Amino acid sequence: MLVQLATIAGRDDRPNEDFPAALADCAVLLDGAGGPAEMPTGCRHGTDWYVRQLGVRLLAWMGGRPEQSLTAMLAAGIAEVNGLHAGRCDLSAPGTPSTTVVMARLHPDGIEYLVLGDSTLLIDRQSQEPLIITDQRIEEVAVAEQAAMNALPTGTPEHFEARVRYVGRQRELRNRPGGYWITSADPAAAEQAFTGVEPAGELRSVTLLSDGATRFVEFGLGGWPALLALLGTKGINDVFDRIRAAETDDPDGARWPRAKQHDDAAIVHFRAR
């Protein structure tokens, strides 16, 4: 397998909170959800610090602990990163850093995965439709607040205020019954991830994407097969260029309502040669 990865920040003046990392036979992709920088988090380090601390641990353990389940690794990672800052930061704050997580381990006969949050894993095999694994449960909460935000032009003060209300409501519903589960300060969230093993026969590619990168499909620039074809020919940079061009052509979000004009984007792509 050839493995390639790339990431691009949504804004030059803010840290990139996406974290893609890979070894020859495993990968992890995180998309940190800090909310607008103006909203308090209780953490003096920041969401970019959080995803780096967690991401490097998950990758190291995937590379060195073949006997440990991905669920156990995620729970252990959450607990260990808690220990790095519990003394100085308020981890009970509703806005404590959180992140999506996609983990994939490639074995000779199967692809073992874990997905929690709205990043995506694509498994592409010969003569089959691509398998799409993602966790969109966050879309089922704060629906009214999201609709109110989406009705307003991106980049206006009114849109920003609506986004603060939307993120605030999401935070109230995080990791509690009736809400949604996400990787944050509670190790028990790991048990709520989608996990499984997919057969690796006739495997063409395995791809991990943040939601900044799946905008390619969400915006209708092409379907999943078109995205995979681009990755196999022109590469990740070309996918990013097309997303940025579409975003720039829709500066106020009239065509594609969204929280941010440009989002951080990240892709890890394994391809059989």
As measured in angstroms, the least distance from the Cβ of 236 to Zn ion is 31
Least distance in angstroms from the C-beta of 17 to Zn ion: 14
With respect to Zn ion, which residue has the nearer C-beta, 30 or 43? 43
- Considering the complex, state which of residue 99 and residue 214 has its C-beta at the smaller distance from Zn ion: 99
**Least distance CB 47 / Zn ion (angstroms):** 10
Q: How far is the CB of 96 from Zn ion (least distance, A)?
A: 8
Residue 154: phi and psi, rounded to 5, are -55, 140
Residue 148, burial from CB neighbour count under 10 angstroms (0-12, 13-18, 19+): middle
Nearer to Zn ion, 41 or 214 (CB): 41
Q: In the complex, what is the shortest distance from the CB of residue 32 to Zn ion, in angstroms, rounded to a whole number?
A: 12
How far apart CA 151 and CA 221 sit, in angstroms, is 22
Q: What is d(CA 135, CA 113) in angstroms, rounded to the nearest whole number?
A: 13
Q: Tell me the one-letter amino acid at 54.
A: L
List residues near Zn ion by CB under 5 A: 43, 45, 85, 89
**Token representation of residue 268:** 């890890």
Rounded least distance, CB 117 to Zn ion, Å: 20
Q: Which amino acid is at 28?
A: V
Per-residue DSSP letter, 68: S
Q: State the Cα–Cα distance between residues 262 and 242, nearest whole angstrom.
A: 12
Taking the least distance from each CB to Zn ion, the nearer of 174 and 242 is 174
The structure tokens listed for 158 are 């009114």
Q: Which is nearer to Zn ion, 45 or 244 (CB)?
A: 45
Pick the closer one to Zn ion by CB: 42 or 257: 42
| Residue 16, both tokens | 């990139």
Distance (Å, rounded) from C-alpha 10 to C-alpha 232?
A: 24
